[in-house]
Amino acid sequence: MGLAAIFCVISLLALSISSPTTAQTPPAPFLPPSPAPAPHFVNLTELLSVAGPFHTFLNYLLQTRVIETFQNQANNTKQGITIFVPKDSAFASLKKSDLGNLTQDQLRILFLYHAFPKYYSLSDFKNLSNLNSVSTFAGGQYALNITYTFGLISIGSDWANPKITSSVYSTAPVAVYEIDGVLLPLAIFSSDPPLAPAPAPAPEATKTSDITPTQSAIGAAPKSSESSTSGGSSYIASVPLLNCFVFALSGSLMLTM
């Protein structure tokens, strides 16, 4: 019995030594998905300072602190922002009293009225034109109507319908479009604001005919000398003819004699 037990133990040891061991590979480490790139930060104050000129619009944004609302929407939300910026010449066409008589709250609402709380590319405006109106930052009653006609985009407010004349910046989540007029809502302007008077025309330059002699006057003097010259010439030409007549008369008298 002792020999049989020893034989079994030896056999088991031989089998364990001769059988290959299975190598176990460690599991692959779990890698979390890479985060999406953060949107590019756009400093609206710097952008409006170098483009345009949009100095009047920017000054009102800073004065009413609307620029802070726009900047927060541009860089801290997923929706983004779309801003309609009138050039300085658009403000110059309005009387100073049109904006000067507004309260600070009215000014703030007026410039909130110039932006949508969402990013829209130019190609999106075709679909926006199918809507009755699009709400602005100023609230529901301050909505705008979009008209899209063969690529020409108009922004309809109550007293003005300016057109988009160029794209200043359009990369999600920020779009800034130049318009050729100031948006004027009925809730602030109860009547159509009058335009500023057109500048007086420049005085006419003095006509050349008033300071230079006329062509007829210039040509009148030579004519008198020409007429006197022609008169002298006819007198000189008549002398040889008279001499011929005298010689012919004297010859005929001699023949008769």
From 51, 45, 111, 136, select the one nearest 87 (Cα to Cα). 51
Place 89 in a pLDDT band, splitting at 50, 70 and 90: very high
pLDDT tens digits, residue range 99-156? 999 999 999 999 999 999 999 999 999 999 999 899 999 998 899 999 999 999 999 9
What are the residue ranges of helices labelled H in 79-214? Answer: 88-92, 96-100, 104-112, 125-128, 208-211
Side by side, the strands of the sheet bearing 115-116 are 115-116, 81-86, 174-179, 164-171
Does pLDDT of 35 surpass 80?
Answer: no
CB atoms within 10 A of CB 61: 26
- pLDDT in the model for residue 224: 45
Token representation of residue 63: 């004065």
The residues facing 169 across adjacent strands are 176
Side by side, the strands of the sheet bearing 134-136 are 134-136, 139-149, 152-156
Cα 224 from Cα 216, distance rounded (Å): 13
Token representation of residue 12: 């088991």
Place 221 in a pLDDT band, splitting at 50, 70 and 90: very low
Cα 246 from Cα 248, distance rounded (Å): 5
What's this model's pTM, rounded to 2 decimal places?
0.63
Using a 10 angstrom Cβ sphere, with 0-12 exposed, 13-18 middle and 19 or more buried, the burial of residue 162 is: buried
Place 17 in a pLDDT band, splitting at 50, 70 and 90: low
What is the distance, to the nearest Å, from the Cα of residue 56 to the centroid of all Cα atoms in its chain? 16
